[in-house]
Amino acid sequence: MLLEIAIGDAYGAGFEFCGREKIMRSNTLESYVPHELGIQAGCYTDDTQMSIAVAEVLLANSDYSSDAFADAYVRCYKRDQRQGYAKGLQGLLDLCVNGADLRQRISPESRRNGAAMRSVPLGLIADKNVLAQAASEQAMVTHNTAEGILSSHVVALMSHALLYDKAKLVELPDFILEITGFILRGDWAAEVECDALQTLHAVNTALQANRCMSTLLLDCVNFGGDVDSVAAIAMGLASLTPEYVVDIPASLVNGLEAGKFGSSYLRKLDVALAGRYPVLSAHLVRQS
């Protein structure tokens, strides 16, 4: 789960809001590409780091409060400062010493996709009511808006349906509609802004159209725009269903950043999550 999120994030990061010609030239899956704003090839960004933070909250105990999530976001950033955050949030994270500090300083009124991008791990929570509450609590730290909270709930529910209900991909939109009233589009074709709801439509469109992780990655990047978040969420969800063939090129599996919080750390965290949430175990076998 986290490994695939990171691969999607790191691959997409090279193309985030880049020109169409770079996508045409370099979206080949041959290798990670660097981003002109300073993200090195193979390095993941905020999407994965905040998903790690959510995963660490899920592993710690059953405190799914906004304060617990805020503490995790600050802790994960402080120990491993990295590029890719929105400037405003990164500035705040630089200033803050803990979650309470962040919550005091932030104006959490964003309708962007930051709450959705870190929500795949929330699908591990078995009880759907607890999951909804956790999605809301984690979203309101930075995205305390109807769109921000809904986007987190939708991603968490898609993840949950694949893990616990063994849902078919094609069933996901009806499942989401039934629980949230939100219509997930399957025909997104435009560039994806940082917008929470656009991101959901793009993720669903790419997820429904493919059955191989390789072509899924290509499609996510081909949208253009905020493609690292689209690819991170889509790859995280794809890792949870046997309908998806795991055919990520070796160059991307091996090219993901090493180091203290790199690929080995992500694999270990996935194993720890599977220990706590056995429903994830079957999907880790496919990873190796």
Instruction: Assess 47 for contact with Mg ion (CB under 5 A).
Output: yes
Instruction: Assess 48 for contact with Mg ion (CB under 5 A).
Output: no
- Segment lying near Mg ion (by CB under 5 A), choices 122-130, 151-159, 189-197, 220-228: 220-228
- Segment lying near Mg ion (by CB under 5 A), choices 46-54, 146-154, 177-185, 257-265: 46-54
Beta bridge partner(s), residue 195: 112
- Segment lying near Mg ion (by CB under 5 A), choices 70-78, 107-115, 223-231, 242-250: 223-231
> Nearest approach, Cβ of 159 to Mg ion (angstroms)?
18
Q: Which residues inside 2-31 make contact with Mg ion, applying CB under 5 A?
A: none
Burial class of residue 209, CB neighbours in 10 A (0-12, 13-18, 19+):
middle
C-alpha span between 38 and 36 (Å, rounded):
5
Nearer to Mg ion, 131 or 232 (CB): 232
- Segment lying near Mg ion (by CB under 5 A), choices 29-37, 45-53, 130-138, 248-256: 45-53
Instruction: Assess 228 for contact with Mg ion (CB under 5 A).
Output: yes
Tokens found for residue 164: 């616990």
Nearer to Mg ion, 47 or 270 (CB): 47
Instruction: Assess 45 for contact with Mg ion (CB under 5 A).
Output: yes
Instruction: Assess 147 for contact with Mg ion (CB under 5 A).
Output: no
Q: Per-residue b/e over 255-283, b at no fewer than 16 CB within 10 Å?
A: bbbeeebbbebbbebbebbbeebebbeeb
Phi-psi region at 277: left, alpha or beta (left = phi > 0; alpha = psi -120 to 50):
beta
Instruction: Assess 226 for contact with Mg ion (CB under 5 A).
Output: no
For Mg ion (CB under 5 A), the number of binding residues is 5
> Nearest approach, Cβ of 84 to Mg ion (angstroms)?
4
Per-residue CA distances from 129 to 56, 62, 136 (Å) = 20, 14, 11
Nearer to Mg ion, 46 or 147 (CB): 46
> Nearest approach, Cβ of 83 to Mg ion (angstroms)?
9
What radius of gyration do the chain's Cα atoms show? Answer: 17
- Segment lying near Mg ion (by CB under 5 A), choices 82-90, 123-131, 199-207, 266-274: 82-90
Instruction: List residues binding Mg ion (CB under 5 A).
Output: 45-47, 84, 228
